[in-house]
């Protein structure tokens, strides 16, 4: 009994009150958000809502499988893939030079006092703000704006992906450069090498695997985004799905949704394959 009494205080969690306080604070902060969004799970099981939902889902079966319609689905799927591929390619062309220009790894000031350090910072910081601008606005908003500028179609989707994903890739590429080993790049610059040579021979070889892995992941995200942007007129499966929903054609919408699901599964499988190959 004396041994059990002596061990009892040690078995208690010394941080239990801190955890209780954190959980309580989180709930207090979350509650206003729940009230603001008018979140009500009971609405999902309301009989009237269930009846309307059942009627809506009943229109989806059987799906539309006519030959002419499947050809339209195939063309829309290829257009969606083209938007994602061209968009991520243009994003890379935007991101790669920006990542080199905005990273501090290749700055001469990191080696010691430099005569033009102020000028270099004056160039690097505005470029970083430009990258924040590119990635700070979602691709759906860019697509909505570009549809007004260039009209309906895939062009708006490609440009929206190139802008937003260009900023994302530039940001992550610069962080990859700074997180990998920089000893080789510093040695090259200390020996008189230029910024570009130090990057290609000192930074890129150790960063290539992570860059490719993240780029493939972003391509997977671009496939999903290209479908979503279609709802604002940026082409692809999303635009055709929006038209079918507007015309209350549930059978066509079901086929488009199934195609979208298969496309996302394919993109996820391809992305996982490349990431495992690079691991």
pLDDT along the chain (279 residues), means of 10: 51 73 85 79 80 79 85 89 92 91 69 54 78 88 88 87 92 86 71 75 82 88 86 82 82 87 85 76
State the pTM of this model: 0.77
- pLDDT at residue 115, as a whole number: 54
Residue carrying the six token digits 């900023």: 167
- pLDDT at residue 164, as a whole number: 93
The verdict on domain 67-278 having CATH code 3.80.30.20 is no
Alpha helices for 59-153 (secondary structure H) = 67-102, 117-136, 139-150
- pLDDT at residue 19, as a whole number: 81
Tokens of 79: 């257009």
- pLDDT at residue 120, as a whole number: 62
Give the integer Cα–Cα distance in Å for 49 and 55.
10
- pLDDT at residue 105, as a whole number: 73
- Give the residue among 174, 3, 182 at the shortest CA–CA distance from 96: 174
Tokens of 169: 């890739």
Contacts of 240 (CB under 8 A, 6+ apart): 72, 73, 76, 230, 252, 256
Structure letter (DSSP) for residue 109:
G
Residues 203 and 177: beta-carbon distance below 8 Å: yes
Burial per residue of 25-35, b for 16 or more beta-carbon CB atoms within 10 angstroms, e otherwise: eeeeeeeeeee
50-56's contacts with Cβ under 8 Å and 24+ in sequence apart are: 56/250
Distances (CA, A) of 28 to 18, 31, 37, 79, 120: 15, 5, 15, 47, 47
Which stretch of DSSP H or E encloses residue 142? helix 139-150
Q: Where are the domains of the chain?
A: 67-278
Give the integer Cα–Cα distance in Å for 247 and 70.
18
Give the integer Cα–Cα distance in Å for 275 and 209.
9
In 10 A of CB 138, how many CB atoms? 14
- pLDDT at residue 88, as a whole number: 93
Contacts of 113 (CB under 8 A, 6+ apart): none
- pLDDT at residue 121, as a whole number: 66
Backbone angles phi, psi at 20, to 5 degrees: -60, -40
- pLDDT at residue 95, as a whole number: 92
- pLDDT at residue 251, as a whole number: 85
**What's the residue count for the chain?**
279
Structure letter (DSSP) for residue 202:
I
Tokens of 176: 């990859």
Give the integer Cα–Cα distance in Å for 219 and 214.
9
SS3 label, residue 151: coil
């Amino acid at each position: 009994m004396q041994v059990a009494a002596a061990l009892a205080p040690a078995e208690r969690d010394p941080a239990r009150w801190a955890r209780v306080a954190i959980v309580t604070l989180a709930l207090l902060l979350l509650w206003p958000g729940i009230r603001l969004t008018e979140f009500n799970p009971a609405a999902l099981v309301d009989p009237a809502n269930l009846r309307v939902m059942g009627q809506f889902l009943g229109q989806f079966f059987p799906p539309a499988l006519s030959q002419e319609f499947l050809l339209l689905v195939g063309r829309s799927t290829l257009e969606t893939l083209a938007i994602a591929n061209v968009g991520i390619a243009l994003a890379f062309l935007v991101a790669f030079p920006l990542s080199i220009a905005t990273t501090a790894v290749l700055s001469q000031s990191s080696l010691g006092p430099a005569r033009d350090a102020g000028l270099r910072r004056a160039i690097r910081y505005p470029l970083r703000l430009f990258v924040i601008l590119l990635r700070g606005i979602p691709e759906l908003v860019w697509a909505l704006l570009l549809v007004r500028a260039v009209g309906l179609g895939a062009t708006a989707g490609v440009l929206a992906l190139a802008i937003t994903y260009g900023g994302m890739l530039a940001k992550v590429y610069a962080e990859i450069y700074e997180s990998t080993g920089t000893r080789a790049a510093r040695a090259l610059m200390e020996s008189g090498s230029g910024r570009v040579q130090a990057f290609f021979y000192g930074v890129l070889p150790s960063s290539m695997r992570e860059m490719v892995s993240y780029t493939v992941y972003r391509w997977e995200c671009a496939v999903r985004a290209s479908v979503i942007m279609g709802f604002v007129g940026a082409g692809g499966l999303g635009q055709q799905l929006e038209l079918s929903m507007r015309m209350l054609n549930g059978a066509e919408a079901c086929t488009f949704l199934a195609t979208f699901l298969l496309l996302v599964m394919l993109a996820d499988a391809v992305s996982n394959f490349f990431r495992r190959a690079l691991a």
